[in-house]
């Protein structure tokens, strides 16, 4: 008989319901704790989601011997400190993206998980989107031929209140950036997942519309390479469009254009008869298998959480490892470094 497992949510804000949903959808797992340093938030979240225990102090959870794992769903700056504390207490940890705001912290997290024999995973839910998996497979099998370039963009709209009402968003200390490290992160990570390791060539940031409320970037434009393939990237949180991603992968034998919106959609494809056959199969599969979504974050938190739980119970490595997440963080921080250098050069 399977051992019952108990999970905690640390940080009961916007993304926390996706974590409750994911763990709730699995047999043998319960969400036992709702923890938020703002006590009314913790109690309201526990009541709304029927979670039996709440706390305003995350240290308290470390002493619960029945607790198997925790989701760290707080601001970016605290990810490393909290993840390490839970790992050292013997808990498995699922931490939201980005892994940390400093490369040294990310490495410490990976080392701590290894030293304590615990699973550490960084949320990268779009790696689990069936459409992303399909495109990745087509690229790896050579159905697009040699890749010529990738173009990726995110247009999103965040009102001033999104930043003004938050203790961390739009601050360099709490968020570490904005359009890229928070919203654009998914596009960057997906390109890396499909096309390979990223090197930054150039980056420019700007902030105009939200300049009164954020000290971070609202727009970033960049040129990178993914395993040598040129990648152009444009991300913004100040457009008139609520949320629209586009990824175009162009190869010598075929090309695909798709998005990470919910549900992920393939907009364009051209290539061989085999690629057309694969696209038809993918479209038929998505039409029957896609469960209802949760906002524009998509549905794949469920899939990553299922992978996390499987890894905890069986020891099987996850599809998306924490060690690998360091590479995406390095690309994010590299883009910010290039943008800062480019701004300094024109001053």
Q: Which residues bind ligand NAD (CB under 6 A)?
A: 10-16, 35-38, 41, 58, 73-76, 78, 96-97, 123, 125, 166, 182, 297
The minimum distance between CB 152 and ligand NAD, in angstroms, equals: 16
d(CA 200, CA 230): 10
Q: Which residue is nearest to ligand NAD (CB)?
A: 13
The minimum distance between CB 146 and ligand NAD, in angstroms, equals: 32
The minimum distance between CB 311 and ligand NAD, in angstroms, equals: 18
Beta carbons of 275 and 249 less than 8 angstroms apart: no
Runs of H (alpha helix) within 155-300: 160-164, 185-195, 273-289
The minimum distance between CB 209 and ligand NAD, in angstroms, equals: 20
The residue (of 175 and 282) whose beta carbon lies closer to ligand NAD is 175
Angle 24-29-33 (CA atoms, 0-180°, nearest 5)? 80
The total number of residues shown for the chain amounts to: 347
The minimum distance between CB 269 and ligand NAD, in angstroms, equals: 26
Which uninterrupted H or E stretch holds 147? strand 147-157
The residue (of 58 and 258) whose beta carbon lies closer to ligand NAD is 58
d(CA 95, CA 79): 7
The residue (of 96 and 282) whose beta carbon lies closer to ligand NAD is 96
d(CA 57, CA 36): 7
The minimum distance between CB 290 and ligand NAD, in angstroms, equals: 17
The minimum distance between CB 327 and ligand NAD, in angstroms, equals: 17
The residue (of 129 and 282) whose beta carbon lies closer to ligand NAD is 129
The minimum distance between CB 345 and ligand NAD, in angstroms, equals: 30
The distance between the two most distant Cα atoms of the chain, rounded to a whole number of Å, is 66
Helix (H, G, I), strand (E, B) or coil at 205: strand
d(CA 121, CA 71): 10
The residue (of 77 and 118) whose beta carbon lies closer to ligand NAD is 77
d(CA 110, CA 94): 12
Burial class of residue 194 (count of CB atoms within 10 Å of its CB; 0-12, 13-18, 19+): buried
The residue (of 61 and 144) whose beta carbon lies closer to ligand NAD is 61
The residue (of 97 and 302) whose beta carbon lies closer to ligand NAD is 97
Would you state the structure tokens that stand for residue 170, as one six-digit string? 């739009």
The residue (of 297 and 336) whose beta carbon lies closer to ligand NAD is 297
Task: Report CA-CA distances (Å) from 64 to 36, 70, 300.
Answer: 16, 12, 29
Task: Report CA-CA distances (Å) from 97 to 12, 15, 118, 191, 246.
Answer: 15, 11, 19, 16, 20
The minimum distance between CB 256 and ligand NAD, in angstroms, equals: 23
The residue (of 36 and 282) whose beta carbon lies closer to ligand NAD is 36
Contacts of residue 30, defined as CB under 8 A and 6 or more positions apart, other chains included, come to 4, 5, 6, 7, 23, 24
Would you state the structure tokens that stand for residue 148, as one six-digit string? 């010529």
């Amino acid at each position: 008989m399977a051992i019952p497992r108990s999970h905690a949510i640390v940080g009961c804000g916007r993304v926390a319901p996706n974590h409750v949903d994911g763990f709730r959808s699995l047999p043998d797992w319960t969400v036992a704790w709702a923890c938020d340093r703002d006590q009314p938030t913790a109690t309201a979240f526990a009541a709304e989601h029927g979670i039996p225990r709440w706390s305003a102090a995350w240290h308290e959870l470390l002493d619960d011997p029945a607790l198997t794992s925790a989701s760290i769903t707080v601001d970016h700056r605290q990810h490393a400190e909290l993840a390490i504390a839970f790992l050292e207490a013997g808990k498995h940890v699922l931490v939201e993206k980005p892994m940390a705001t400093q490369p040294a912290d990310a490495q410490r997290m990976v080392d701590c998980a290894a030293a304590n024999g615990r699973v550490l995973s960084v949320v990268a839910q779009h790696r689990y989107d069936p459409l992303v998996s399909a495109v990745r497979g087509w690229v790896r099998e050579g159905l697009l031929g040699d890749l010529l370039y990738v173009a990726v963009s995110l247009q999103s709209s965040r009102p001033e209140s999104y930043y003004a009402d938050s203790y961390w968003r739009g601050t360099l200390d709490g968020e570490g950036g904005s359009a890229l490290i928070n919203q654009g992160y998914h596009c960057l990570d997906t390109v890396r997942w499909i096309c390979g390791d990223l090197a930054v060539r150039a980056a420019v940031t700007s902030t105009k519309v939200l300049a009164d409320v954020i000290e971070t970037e609202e727009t970033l434009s960049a040129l990178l390479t993914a395993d040598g393939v040129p990648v152009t990237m444009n991300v913004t949180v100040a457009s008139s469009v609520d949320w629209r991603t586009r990824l175009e992968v162009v190869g010598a034998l075929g090309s695909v254009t798709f998005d990470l919106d919910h549900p992920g959609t393939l907009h364009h494809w051209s290539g061989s008869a085999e690629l057309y056959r694969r696209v038809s199969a993918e479209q038929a599969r998505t039409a029957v298998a896609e469960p209802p979504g949760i906002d524009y974050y998509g549905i794949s938190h469920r899939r990553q959480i299922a992978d996390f739980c499987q890894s905890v119970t069986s020891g099987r490595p996850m599809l998306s490892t924490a060690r690998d997440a360091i590479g995406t963080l390095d690309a994010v921080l590299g883009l910010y470094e290039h943008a800062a250098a480019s701004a300094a050069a024109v001053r």
